[in-house]
Structure 1
């Protein structure tokens, strides 16, 4: 057991803020995705509760105590997930109690609740489950309607609130919504919310976009911050306000200004994807699309068909992975294939035109490239991709992309499909 020496109270470094502490060696090993921290971060934002730190710690008493000591010195709310089960490595409650120098007490109502749940499931409560009925003296029970591990709500100091939740996400979600949120609101939290909007850009680098919007990155309310990932750049606009509608009013003018700066590189917001935006443009113009894919192996078609109702504008595609399929199904000229190779602007154009003609669509979109890790040469390295686009007026375009030899096969395939959609998007907007 940890020493029960009372720890000195230190001035809170970040008053009126929370810290998320996720407990579990399986998280550190990467065996389980830590979705709990993402959920809690989003929920804290909805309540307008700032949080500047997230900590993951293994099932180790001493290290967990160190985490508590640091966190309790800098925030008002500590939110724990994990470590509330019946096994010896479930240490959260007893370590919290030890840290603050109070004993654990057995709560008979918890034992009764666990026994009833076991009986409903045709199981018998075993002695180890009694451990889950031990909570720090003075703490309130945070009920778990579905599982056997309750949490606690405890204020060991006037300025500090502790909430604990089991690590099972479904149990934690319900406990948070049904008990934790009403409690926090009763304590005066949730008077303001933090509301965010993400603007999405394609075809521009993070540093370039950041320079263009540099004057906006120092705003205080709303704030603007850039993010990048998988070829896409985002600008997140966040406003703190009394309600979502007030936050929207703060965000709206900044959003429009950033969209104007982004120009055609801006493609959507929040949950928009390139496939969603392209689909909307095709549907609104009454136009249709077919695709011909080589190195992406159907990934482009998958992106398009993930959208319900995409059959309104997407008529199908051809996966012409082998050259014979390019010749027989798409009508690629064998002489051009021999002279320029499958990965070339000429073949990409013929693939796009061929699939457009085969399926009688308004647009044909093609991808051919070297996704690696093998197959590259000095002239045509891994990451070289050509995109072909055949339009409604018999115009045919090709676009070369050099996506780099070190990105990896899956990311090259993903970027290729997204780049193809982006080229079509830009053409649809410029008609």
Structure 2
């Protein structure tokens, strides 16, 4: 038994709307332990929707539709489903009554075309929409096939799913087990290198381990299927522990952790403070830190030293070193870090300078070259060089530069005696 998600709407094919409904439903199905192997996006076209249904009914038992339930001519989902299974559409007076009341509450009069939303296949049950005017249906048109339809408006779909669809699915004996996952997060190691270290875990069946990468980091999703989240968590725990031991310092957090969150917790635990001096990141590092509520307890501020005159005047960078080594250098990054630490009287200081591109690079200093300086409690300074690649976008280089700076500090905070 498995489910398939079918999202209806030409606007998604054109890229005008992000298909967040599929992501939500996929997570919900996982929580219910219902296998889900396919997702389809189809435009507002009767024949193509029927083709999708023909394929879906051959490989899934639960078909979940979103979109195409509105009052306009291009809203074709319900009538197409009815026609596919050879059932007539019938008007439900209770839907008319519900819509009329909702329009009245909003000080509006229901137009004639809204009556279309009251037409559902004969034999189908209404899936109530508490907030909007377009109801869905729950229908089992033939043995082994269950249809659930939802409007495309996410807020309406979420409530309909939680209040009606989930209890229905559980009443049918589905959702007796859940799939629970932990997403382990890594920085400073490539996907292939990490995969090589933990490859023997990829053959597990319960829990399962799968890698995925993006925006400079690697994640390992560890998932288990069990009768409860607690039991699944117990299955995952030893695998997670082993992977973390293998990865060492390259592991930095789990699930919704970010490098900024982890660094913040480490600073808060030690009662220490941080300031930053940014060049190529242009304030991105400070934004990551201040995105966290309560970060003022450990993050005191920063200087965006984009021009060399600011590096010299505000941070005390030696102009002779700027001439000799250039703004993008380990020496300047270290002086930036020490300068902002001294100026703001913090425990730690970070300095970031680099070439974000797409212009400004050279043979000796290509686009993607970044230096991060770190000044510590006793004014000791160190630095690290990153080469993020000359073919990367400016936005990517700026983002991973800020993350790299946080990771550099994280490793220092974790490993110091």
Band of TM-score, shorter chain: over 0.9
- Cα deviation, 1:230-260, whole Å, max 9, x if unaligned, reads 0110010000000011001100000000000
The alpha carbon displacement at 1:133 in A equals 0.7
Match of 1:168 in 2: 153
Distance in 1, matches of 2:103 and 2:292, equals 42
- 1:135 to 2:120 alignment: yes
Distance in 2, matches of 1:398 and 1:426, equals 13
Match of 1:286 in 2: 271
- Cα deviation, 1:112-165, whole Å, max 9, x if unaligned, reads 111111111111111111111111111000000110100000001121100000
The alpha carbon displacement at 1:393 in A equals 2.5
- 1:110 to 2:99 alignment: no
Match of 1:7 in 2: none
| SS of aligned partner of 2:252 | strand
Give the alignment's Cα RMSD to 1 decimal: 0.7
Match of 2:377 in 1: 392
| SS of aligned partner of 2:378 | coil
Distance in 2, matches of 1:106 and 1:366, equals 67
Match of 1:186 in 2: 171
Q: After TM superposition, what 4+ stretches of structure 1 lie above 4 angstroms from structure 2?
A: none
Distance in 2, matches of 1:241 and 1:110, equals 39
**Where do residues 194-343 of structure 1 align in structure 2 (5 Å cutoff)?**
194-343=179-328
The alpha carbon displacement at 1:360 in A equals 1.1
Distance in 1, matches of 2:170 and 2:82, equals 25
Distance in 1, matches of 2:343 and 2:377, equals 14
The alpha carbon displacement at 1:307 in A equals 1.0
Distance in 2, matches of 1:288 and 1:126, equals 61
Please give the TM-score of this superposition, normalised by the length of structure 1: 0.96
Distance in 1, matches of 2:218 and 2:66, equals 32
Between the two proteins, the alignment pairs up a number of residues equal to: 416
Match of 1:359 in 2: 344
| SS of aligned partner of 1:375 | coil
Please give the TM-score of this superposition, normalised by the length of structure 2: 0.99
Pick which of 202-211 and 387-396 moved more: 387-396
| SS of aligned partner of 1:240 | strand
Distance in 1, matches of 2:97 and 2:296, equals 55
Distance in 2, matches of 1:230 and 1:386, equals 19
Q: Which runs of 5+ in 2 are unaligned?
A: none
Match of 1:430 in 2: 415
| SS of aligned partner of 2:263 | helix
- 1:156 to 2:180 alignment: no
Distance in 2, matches of 1:91 and 1:309, equals 49
| SS of aligned partner of 2:379 | coil
The alpha carbon displacement at 1:366 in A equals 0.8
- Cα deviation, 1:337-376, whole Å, max 9, x if unaligned, reads 0111111111001000100111111111010011111111
Distance in 1, matches of 2:103 and 2:266, equals 55
Distance in 1, matches of 2:363 and 2:243, equals 40
Aligned partner of 2:74 among 89, 92, 98: 89
Match of 2:42 in 1: 57
